[in-house]
Amino acid sequence: MNCNIAVIKGDGIGPEVVGEAMKVLDKVAEKYGHTFNYDQLLMGGCSIDVHGIPLTDEAIERAKAADAVLLGSIGGNTSTSPWYKLPPDKRPEAGLLKIRKALNLFANLRPALLYPQLKGACPLKEEIAERGFDMMIMRELTGGLYFGARETKEVDGVMTAVDTLTYNENEIRRIAIKGFDIAMKRRKKVTSVDKANVLDSSRLWRKIVEEVARDYPEVTYEHMLVDNCAMQLVKDPAQFDVVLTENMFGDILSDEASMITGSIGMLASASLNETKFGMYEPSGGSAPDIAGQNKANPIATILSAAMMLRFTFDLDKEAEAIEKAIIQVLDENYRTIDILSDGKQLVSCSEMGDLIAERV
């Protein structure tokens, strides 16, 4: 297969971790007979340094022309970096918001997986961590409360703020279809999360999800109220496969889910549009505190590359080969500093990339 990948290494640890992901992808290409063509683009602080803005129109066009985007992370130290003396729309993060919008990335996927080898990092009770968990939080990314009309004004002498939560049936249907499609590639269970006992937007959400579910007879689905879901995530996370939810609930629940895995350097993410196109990136930021020291954990970015193979290119076997190589490296007790514990062998970012590539 011939795959065109726009690569945005970004700032901080971005170039280090993306370099390791490309190393692993090149090994996949060699072993399975694919060609990965990389088009390297600037976004974030590195683009400000060269072009004066965090993302150029030319970079957007080149990203659109690719099949997928592999992203590291952008931004610097928000207290000391000169990038943060610029107005908000010129700062590194503005590039990220701009590219998400330009590429119409409405579906955000964040896997939360507890590796048995790292269960000591899980902050939950031992008997819960013992059972493990492997879920995909699927969050609607371009609608709902964060994008609705808002204003703050004085009403009868009292300051009053209004935010509007709007969803139409098309926005709900397209994310629900993505959620059920992804469940078909996993354990075939969807938990749709809403607040249908209070909100009209949630009642419409529930109705449309039920309609979509009829087209997926193999998938078991259930509805869960968001407050209950927040509790269930810490009480019994093993029950979840795909958690499908709207923007704000997903924002909060995905952070809760990543917290219970205990290790930010292991968490991948993907944002998809209506086609197979996606942008794939680690959940963490640019970690300026360890940038340039060859200390970062590249696994989140390597797992993001595996998600790209699975969801954009339908290369499930190759994605699995990467995931298995990571498990093997952990089984062999190699750890970067962020996941190091007693008796394990410390390796650098590039050594971790080498070890995984060798085992693909």
Query: What amino acid positions are annotated as catalytic residues?
Result: 146, 195, 227, 251, 255
- Give whole-number Cα distances, 156 to 147, 152, 164, in Å: 27, 13, 21
- Work out whether the CA dihedral 310, 109, 299, 84 comes out positive or negative: positive
Distance CA 55, CA 186 (A): 35
Residue among 76, 268, 262, 106 nearest 172 (CA): 106
Distance CA 356, CA 360 (A): 6
Q: Least distance to ligand NAD from the beta carbon of 126, Å?
A: 25
Q: Which is nearer to ligand NAD, 202 or 286 (CB)?
A: 286
Q: Which is nearer to ligand NAD, 261 or 297 (CB)?
A: 297
Q: Least distance to ligand NAD from the beta carbon of 73, Å?
A: 3
Angle, CA 281 vertex, CA 325 and CA 90 arms, to 5°: 155
Supply φ then ψ for residue 70, to 5 degrees: -105, 120
- Work out whether the CA dihedral 41, 47, 51, 53 comes out positive or negative: positive
Site residues for ligand NAD per CB under 6 A: 13, 17, 73-76, 78, 93, 96, 264-265, 281-282, 284-290, 296-297, 300, 338
Q: Which is nearer to ligand NAD, 74 or 325 (CB)?
A: 74
Q: Least distance to ligand NAD from the beta carbon of 150, Å?
A: 23
Q: Which is nearer to ligand NAD, 212 or 349 (CB)?
A: 349
Q: Least distance to ligand NAD from the beta carbon of 109, Å?
A: 14
Do 151 and 162 contact (CB within 8 A), yes or no?
Answer: yes
Q: Which is nearer to ligand NAD, 181 or 351 (CB)?
A: 351
Two structure tokens written together for 171? 């926005």
Q: Least distance to ligand NAD from the beta carbon of 311, Å?
A: 18
